[in-house]
């Protein structure tokens, strides 16, 4: 133990600081010293209870799954000697259950490949999809095909039995690497180290490939498949890496679109692989491919709704706190000056706020919008979270202040945070606001900056509350594209198949606000988007402006997505803007529509936010959603989205119009998206 | 006198181990296993090996049943059993058992029934040999521990008086 204590604390890495703090875990690991190997055999005598130490790899929470008791016993012993916190499990299903129940209480999973109740690869897939934990596979079978399969399913390592203690001493690296990669992605530095990139590729092997290859990739792949006519499911073959890729079906965006539309056509319940295959009519695609994809798709849908449910609790909690504020708002108004006076808001921000508030058209009051519409609005949108947040802001002016007030107090964060959030905004962003106003020429600008800030705060909260989920969120960027436009099937909504406006403009300067395109689709909708890019650390505010077009009695919400590409491929943040518009409803107000802007890919301003992975893999994104591909992809996703919404409906419906509630719910969904993306790109 | 006995027993153990290593029955993984034995689990090796025997016998029975009972043996299931046996055998360092498993699995992958039967017999033979030898080893170990304990006790007595 003395040896442990001696470990220098000099190199505390931020990577690790976010690591290991899990709600229920008794083990607190906050300090990392990556340079030390604390787990030495000399300290083996230390009982496992003493694992509670702040020296990094010590206390790493490992879940070992192996149906072979012998191996399990030996592994447990070895891991304990590494001073890890070990949980063993001899059934894959039980392990999965455990992982689900105690989300965030494990750092790494060691799993056997062959298990009677569930294939280790399946487990790996589930874990990858649901908790995004590093999974290390182990098997006596060290054949290339088996290892390749593991890698393809997303294993971060593959250990061949017999496993030696030396190998286990090192497994913490996967945890750190994962965290580190996430942070890297966030920082979006664009200069990934080789290691890093390698890992990333590993992680994302499935979708990167499909993404990069884009359409032609999938075509190629289909051709290959038709040539080789294998009836395998892509998993059984054991060829070398180069050839093993070929027969894989890459679920490109287009392919997925076809898939989703086929499923929609059939109805989710009635969709069977064979029928889907017929509808898709893609040469070379096998029933097995479709079946497996369908399974994943279903799983994903299920998961989405499940998570949403989980989150409801939280959101309701938030709501509780909100109400008093609402009163406050209705009584008087949110007093910006007061805030300013208290020094929480820098004068510039204040000015900006005013500008926005004033500039905004007076719109419907909340009551004017009927509930369903609102619900739909909240349901829609790629990024639920942001959207919902924005909803309150997007609300008609009159309410606007109230809304603001709602938001501020409710956020559980102390006021300091608020101020810090504000402070974090460079004055430039304010400039941006101004410029955007000019550009837009519309008064619709919502207080985006505000939104951002709020969102950030909430993200913070979420972060603190659910560290475990962070990893998922870090992929959100990738997801975003897939979320594109969501057509609603409900009568009031029209399907905008392709986003009203897809802006490919990117502004490479952080200050620039891009584009507002207004499209009017058949019935009075316009969607507006803004792509926004932030450079590296700098916060860029993207400003979304929604423009409302003529009021019609039908409410439309259209979202448009902007893909931003950065010239350098570095440090590009893609931001999505959803402009939600609710055309004024018949009742009181004419003309005015509230526009809801959502900026999902929010700029990460603050240090803590960096942990959130909003900016993911800047490099991939541009290439993936090249301008050309862009058009096609949105519609796909729309479809997918529709389904999601259907499923998620029950969860999300809030009888009353509490936007905050929705907003909160939205956040989790946002996170889900990451998986969505994973799903959508599943290649097998 | 008793101390001498303990030393001799230790020498016996080492000789037996050396023999097993020489024969390729065990490999260095067994030494890893021995290193895992410490104060917190003084009987770790024998505990694990007993678990191994228990599991392996089940697997061997299953394998035999799979091979003999049905005309059309379930080779896939056999492969899974063999994989597990391979994993556990290699984990305790039972090198020869593991090697036979590899051969067995190769035969089962080719649906080679005759090969499987041969391999099964060899496997059972190797397994029995391993089991006997390890039991022998543990017995010596036990005696040694006993005599060491007695010596320790005797020393204490001497000091006391």
From CA B102, how far away is CA A124, in angstroms rounded?
26
What is the C-alpha radius of gyration for chain A, rounded to an integer number of angstroms?
Answer: 25
A 10 A CB-CB count for A99 gives 23
Question: CA of B85 to nearest chain A CA: how many angstroms apart?
Answer: 9
Phi, psi of A597 (to 5 degrees): -110, 135
**Number of other CB atoms surrounding residue B121 within 10 Å:** 12
Rounded to the nearest angstrom, the minimum Cα separation between A115 and chain B is: 8
Q: How far is A101 from chain B (nearest CA, A)?
A: 28
3-state secondary structure of A166: helix
Within chain A, which residue ranges are assigned CATH 3.40.50.2300?
Answer: 2-187
Burial class (CB in 10 A: 0-12, 13-18, 19+), A316: middle
Instruction: State the pLDDT at residue A298.
Output: 80
| B83 with A139: Cβ contact below 8 A | yes
Cα(A572)–Cα(A574) distance, integer angstroms: 6
Question: Which residues are CB-contacts of B49 (< 8 A; sequence separation ≥ 6)?
Answer: B92, B134, B138
- Across the interface, of A45, A116, A139, the residue whose CB is closest to B87 is A139
A140 inside 8 A of chain B by CB: yes
| Interchain CB contact of B21 with A (< 8 Å) | no
What interface predicted TM-score (ipTM) does this complex get? 0.91
Give CA angle at B75 (B84, B56), nearest 5°: 30
Q: Which domains, and CATH codes, for chain B?
A: 2-34+44-160 (1.20.120.160)
Taking only the tens place, the pLDDT of each residue in B45-61 is 999 999 999 999 999 99
- B84 and A114 within 8 Å at the Cβ level: the answer is yes
Q: Are A432 and A355 in contact (CB under 8 A)?
A: no
Extract long-range pairs of A299-302: CB within 8 Å, 24+ residues apart.
Answer: A299/A129, A299/A679, A300/A129, A300/A675, A300/A676, A300/A679, A301/A268, A301/A643, A301/A644, A301/A647, A302/A647
- Does the A2-187 domain belong in CATH 3.20.20.80? no
Which token pair is A94?
A: 């039980």
A166: nearest CA partner in chain B: B32
Distance between CA atoms of A578 and A644, rounded to whole angstroms? Answer: 17
Q: Please determine, for residue A476, whether its predicted confidence score (pLDDT) is greater than 60.
A: no
- The shortest C-alpha distance from A140 to chain B (Å) reads 5
- What is the rounded end-to-end Cα distance, in angstroms, of chain B? 19
As given in the structure block, the two tokens for residue A459 are 């993200």
Q: Which residues of A touch B103 (CB under 8 A)?
A: none
By CA distance, what is A80's nearest residue in B? B36
A68 touches chain B (CB under 8 A): yes
pLDDT per residue as tens digits for the range A640-679? 333 333 333 333 333 333 333 333 333 333 343 444 444 4
The sheet carrying A108-112 orders its strands as: A85-89, A61-65, A108-112, A135-139, A157-160
CA distance A417 to A414: 6
Nearest to A164 among B32, B39, B44 (CB): B32
Average of per-residue pLDDT across A592-617 = 37
Residue B161 has a pLDDT of 60
Q: Report yes or no: A629 and A253 within 8 Å, Cβ to Cβ.
A: yes
Q: Say if A45 is an interface residue toward chain B (CB within 8 Å).
A: yes
Query: What residues form DSSP beta bridges with A65?
Result: A89, A111
User: Could you tell me the two tokens for B129?
Assistant: 């040999």
HSE-CB at A608 with a 13 A cutoff on CA atoms is: 16
Q: Which tokens sit at A588? A: 């009181």
Q: Which residues of A touch B29 (CB under 8 A)?
A: 162, 164
Mean pLDDT, all residues of chain A: 51
Q: DSSP characters for A620-635?
A: HHHHHT-HHHHHHHHH
**Would you say A517 and A560 are in contact if contact means Cβ atoms under 8 Å apart?**
yes
pTM score of the predicted model: 0.42
CA distance A161 to B95: 12
CA-based torsion, A123, A125, A126, A130: positive or negative = positive
Each residue's pLDDT tens digit, B65-99: 988 876 677 888 888 899 999 999 999 999 999 99
Nearest chain B residue to A162 by CA distance is: B91
**Token pair of A121, please?**
């690869």
Distance CA A347, CA A81 (A): 58
Question: Which member of B38, B40, B86 has the closest CB to residue A140?
Answer: B86
- The pLDDT of residue A422 is 39
Which chain B residue has its CA at the smallest distance from A44's CA?
A: B38
> For residue A69, which residues of chain B lie inside 8 Å, CB to CB?
51, 54-55
Task: Give B-chain residues touching A137 at CB under 8 angstroms.
Answer: none
More confident residue, A500 or B152: B152
**Nearest residue, CB atoms, B38 vs list A44, A71, A116:** A44
Asked if A62 and A86 count as a contact pair (C-beta separation under 8 A), the reply is yes
Chain B CB contacts of A114 below 8 Å: 80, 83-84
The pLDDT-based confidence of A248 (bands split at 50, 70, 90) is low
């Amino acid at each position: 133990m003395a040896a442990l204590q001696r470990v220098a604390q000099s190199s505390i890495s931020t990577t690790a600081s976010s690591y290991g703090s899990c709600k229920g875990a008794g083990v607190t690991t906050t300090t990392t010293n990556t340079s030390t190997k604390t787990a030495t055999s000399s300290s083996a005598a230390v009982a496992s209870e003493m694992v509670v130490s702040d020296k990094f790899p010590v206390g790493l929470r490992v879940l070992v799954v192996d149906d072979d008791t012998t191996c399990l016993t030996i592994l447990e012993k070895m891991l304990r000697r590494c001073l890890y916190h070990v949980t063993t499990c001899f059934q894959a299903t039980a392990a999965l259950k455990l992982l689900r129940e105690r989300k965030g209480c494990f750092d790494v999973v060691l799993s056997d490949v062959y298990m009677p109740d569930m294939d280790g690869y399946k487990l790996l897939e589930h874990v990858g999809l649901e908790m995004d934990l590093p999974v290390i596979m182990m098997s006596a079978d060290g054949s290339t095909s088996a290892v390749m399969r593991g890698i393809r399913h997303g294993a971060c390592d593959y250990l061949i039995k017999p496993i030696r203690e030396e190998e286990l001493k090192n497994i913490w690296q996967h945890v750190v690497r994962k965290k580190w990669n996430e942070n890297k992605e966030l920082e979006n530095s664009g200069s990934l180290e080789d290691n890093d990139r390698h890992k990333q590729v590993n992680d994302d092997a499935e979708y990167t490939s499909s993404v990069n290859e884009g359409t032609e990739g999938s075509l190629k792949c289909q051709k290959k498949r038709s040539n080789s006519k294998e009836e395998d499911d892509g998993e059984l073959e054991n060829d070398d890496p180069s050839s093993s890729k070929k027969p894989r079906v890459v679920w490109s965006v287009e392919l997925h679109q076809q898939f989703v539309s086929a499923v929609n056509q059939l109805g989710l319940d009635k969709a069977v692989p064979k029928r889907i295959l017929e509808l898709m009519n893609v040469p070379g695609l096998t029933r097995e491919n479709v079946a497996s994809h369908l399974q994943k798709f279903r799983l994903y849908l299920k998961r989405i709704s499940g998570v949403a449910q989980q989150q409801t609790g939280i959101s309701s909690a938030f709501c509780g706190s909100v109400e008093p504020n609402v009163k406050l708002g209705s009584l008087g108004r949110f007093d910006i000056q007061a805030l300013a006076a208290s020094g929480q808001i820098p004068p510039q921000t204040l000015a900006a706020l005013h500008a926005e508030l004033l500039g905004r058209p007076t719109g419907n009051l909340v009551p004017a919008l009927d509930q369903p519409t609102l619900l739909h609005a909240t349901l829609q949108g790629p990024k639920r979270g942001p959207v919902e947040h924005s909803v309150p802001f997007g609300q008609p002016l009159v309410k606007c202040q109230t809304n603001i007030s709602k938001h501020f107090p409710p956020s559980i964060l102390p006021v300091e945070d608020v101020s810090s959030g504000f402070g974090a905004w460079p004055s430039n962003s304010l400039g941006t606001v101004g410029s955007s106003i000019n550009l837009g020429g519309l008064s619709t600008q919502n207080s985006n900056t505000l939104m951002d800030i709020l969102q950030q705060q909430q993200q913070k909260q979420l972060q603190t509350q659910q560290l475990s989920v962070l990893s998922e969120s870090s992929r959100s960027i990738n997801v975003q594209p897939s979320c594109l436009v969501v057509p609603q099937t409900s009568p009031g909504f029209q399907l905008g198949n392709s986003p009203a406006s897809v802006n490919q403009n990117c502004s490479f300067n952080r200050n620039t606000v891009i584009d507002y395109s207004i499209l009017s689709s058949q019935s009075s909708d316009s969607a507006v988007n803004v792509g926004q890019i932030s450079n590296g650390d700098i916060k860029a505010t993207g400003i979304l402006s929604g423009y409302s077009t003529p009021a019609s009695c039908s409410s439309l919400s259209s979202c448009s997505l902007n893909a931003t590409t950065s010239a350098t491929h570095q440090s590009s943040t893609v931001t999505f803007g959803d402009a939600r518009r609710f055309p004024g409803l018949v009742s009181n107000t004419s003309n005015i529509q509230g526009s809801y802007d959502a900026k999902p890919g929010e700029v990460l301003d603050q240090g803590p936010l960096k942990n959130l992975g909003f900016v993911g893999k800047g490099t991939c994104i541009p290439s993936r959603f090249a301008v050309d591909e862009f058009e096609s992809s949105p519609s796909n996703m729309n479809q997918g989205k529709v389904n999601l919404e259907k499923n998620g409906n029950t969860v999300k419906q809030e009888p009353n119009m509490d936007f905050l509630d929705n907003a909160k719910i939205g956040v989790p969904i946002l996170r889900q998206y990451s998986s969505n993306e994973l799903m959508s790109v599943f290649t097998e | 006198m008793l101390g001498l006995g303990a030393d001799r027993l230790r020498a016996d153990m080492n000789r037996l181990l050396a023999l097993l290593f020489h024969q390729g029955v065990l490999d260095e993984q067994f030494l890893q296993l021995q290193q895992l034995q410490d104060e917190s689990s003084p009987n770790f090796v024998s505990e694990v090996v007993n678990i191994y025997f228990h599991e392996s016998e089940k697997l061997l029975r299953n394998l035999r049943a799979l091979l003999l009972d049905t005309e059309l043996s379930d080779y896939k299931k056999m492969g899974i059993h063999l994989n597990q046996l391979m994993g556990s055998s290699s984990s305790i360092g039972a090198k020869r058992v593991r090697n036979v498993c590899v051969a067995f699995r190769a035969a089962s992958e080719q649906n080679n029934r005759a090969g499987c039967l041969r391999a099964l017999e060899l496997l059972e033979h190797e397994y029995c040999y391993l089991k006997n030898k390890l039991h022998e080893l543990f017995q010596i170990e036990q005696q040694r521990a006993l005599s060491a304990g007695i010596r320790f006790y005797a020393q204490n007595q001497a000091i006391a008086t």
